[in-house]
């Protein structure tokens, strides 16, 4: 087992990893930007070092500074969390070349699964159902030819990256060229890669993802599904597990297919396979694989009792999974609400000083956050300031518990979305679990 780990991230996920290290008896090293000197993860870690300016490119994306700090502080491993460098194959490769364990899959696996076109081909070869569409298109004319074969509506999707960027819905040939140009330009700016492919647009559908855990000895576990269909502009807002509308037969099929997919990708560590699910006929289609820890991993931990971060660390230390698929029991129902800071009247970056804070409590109520009373939220990073997670015996109980927890949550000094989350939980489609990915578009 490692004796010291560097956490190459910030915010709640850095706090989460540092806590896991403490519980495992592992020393932790935090890195921080100039804007994060007063951040919680900095004070919780055993050691902490400034690695650059406030902008991510100068600090949390500064590979040389992170690696230098790791080597100088005597760390044997780096945990990248999610975002930033977590799905950067070059970073994982440089870790390996410097004899630093990267707590995640191998660089070549990250590269293959990060290339959405290559990932799709891997799944097809493994017999995993995929969304009808085409491979990478060379130019506008080639794209138009493939679009005619696929039929409208369709999605133009960036080969690289994620987070909803580089994706455009096209409803007819008349609007194709404009959307193609926008998708390729956005992909080039966001990911340095303007290549795109296309898929048939399936709607209405649910966004269901399966949590995977795989060791270096060929053992793969599927830890159950999460329903992530409640989204705004392709950004997840609420996640829950299990997915109520999924039949047990479909669930077992999805587990079987996901294990097969992970093995086909030679995957190791914690990962997530995302699907589109059609509740009308029970069919599901591979969408992409996230080669990192997900923001919504706590709901899986709540219903399985398995600590995903600790297992990420154990697997990176070459330990074997001591759990079998038959031992995985899904208990109760868990829901997560993302608490996001919101810019004042929709303008500028979200920031502010926390001048009042009350965190909900009670059995099976969890608030993963890095904020504290007196903390100034910097305006340079992601807007999520916390994740509120609850677990209860039934879904109805979990919804009521979440509403109660949201009412109890007080964060003063920063505009946030807790009230909006309560409204979403009260939607009729959420209450009966029939909501699909387009629910907020229809609400608008």
Report how far residue 309's alpha carbon sits from residue 349's, in angstroms, rounded to the nearest whole number: 30
Report how far residue 357's alpha carbon sits from residue 355's, in angstroms, rounded to the nearest whole number: 7
Structure tokens at 19: 């806590």
Q: Largest Cα–Cα distance in the chain? A: 61
Hunting for tokens 């926008």 — which residue is that? 182
Secondary structure of 353-401 in HEC code, one letter for each residue: ECCEEECCCCCCEEEEECCCCCCEECCCCCCEEEEEEEEECCHHHHHHH
Cβ-Cβ contacts under 8 Å for 184 (sequence gap 6 or more): 166, 194, 195, 196
- CA R_g for the chain: 21
Report how far residue 130's alpha carbon sits from residue 136's, in angstroms, rounded to the nearest whole number: 15
CB 196, CB 183: distance < 8 Å: yes
* 251 noted as active-site residue: no
Report how far residue 276's alpha carbon sits from residue 155's, in angstroms, rounded to the nearest whole number: 13
* Active-site hit among 168, 292, 314, 366: 292
Report how far residue 245's alpha carbon sits from residue 350's, in angstroms, rounded to the nearest whole number: 36
Q: Which residues are catalytic?
A: 292
């Amino acid at each position: 087992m490692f004796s010291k780990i560097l956490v190459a991230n910030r915010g709640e996920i850095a706090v989460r990893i540092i806590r896991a290290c403490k519980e495992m008896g592992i020393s932790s090293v935090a890195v921080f930007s100039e804007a994060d000197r007063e951040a919680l993860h900095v004070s919780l870690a055993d050691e902490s070092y400034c690695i650059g300016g406030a902008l991510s490119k100068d600090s949390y994306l500064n590979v040389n500074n992170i690696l230098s700090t790791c080597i100088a502080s005597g760390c044997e491993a780096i945990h990248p969390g999610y975002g930033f460098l977590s799905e950067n194959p070059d970073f994982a490769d440089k870790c390996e070349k410097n004899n630093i364990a990267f707590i995640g899959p191998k660089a070549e696996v990250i590269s293959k699964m990060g290339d959405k076109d290559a990932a799709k081909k891997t799944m097809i070869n493994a017999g995993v159902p995929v969304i009808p569409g085409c491979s990478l298109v060379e130019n506008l004319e080639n794209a138009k030819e493939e679009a005619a074969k696929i039929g409208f509506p369709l999605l133009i999707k960036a080969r690289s990256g994620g987070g909803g960027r580089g994706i455009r819905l096209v409803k007819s040939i008349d609007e194709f060229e404009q959307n193609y140009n926008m998708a390729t330009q956005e992909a080039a700016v966001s990911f340095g890669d303007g290549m795109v492919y296309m898929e048939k647009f399936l709607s209405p559908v649910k966004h269901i993802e399966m949590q995977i855990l795989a060791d270096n000895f060929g053992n793969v576990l599927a830890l159950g599904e999460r329903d992530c269909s409640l989204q705004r502009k392709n950004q997840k807002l609420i996640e829950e597990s299990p997915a109520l509308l999924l039949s047990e037969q479909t669930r077992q099929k999805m587990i079987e297919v996901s294990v097969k997919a992970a093995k086909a990708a030679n995957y190791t560590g914690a990962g997530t396979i995302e699907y589109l699910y059609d509740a009308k006929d029970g069919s599901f289609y591979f969408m992409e694989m996230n080669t990192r820890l997900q923001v919504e991993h706590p709901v899986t931990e709540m219903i399985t009792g398995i600590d995903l971060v600790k297992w990420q660390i154990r697997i990176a230390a070459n330990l074997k999974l001591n759990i079998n698929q038959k031992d995985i029991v899904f208990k109760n129902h868990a829901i997560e609400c993302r608490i996001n800071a919101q810019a004042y009247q929709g303008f500028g970056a979200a920031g502010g000083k926390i001048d009042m804070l009350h965190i909900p409590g009670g059995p099976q109520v969890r608030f993963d956050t890095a904020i504290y009373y007196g903390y100034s939220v910097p305006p340079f990073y992601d807007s999520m300031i916390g994740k509120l997670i609850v677990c209860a015996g039934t879904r109805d109980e979990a919804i009521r518990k979440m509403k109660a927890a949201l009412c109890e949550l007080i964060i003063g000094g920063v505009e946030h979305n807790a009230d909006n989350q309560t409204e979403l939980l009260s939607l009729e489609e959420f209450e009966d679990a029939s909501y699909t990915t387009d629910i907020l578009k229809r609400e608008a």
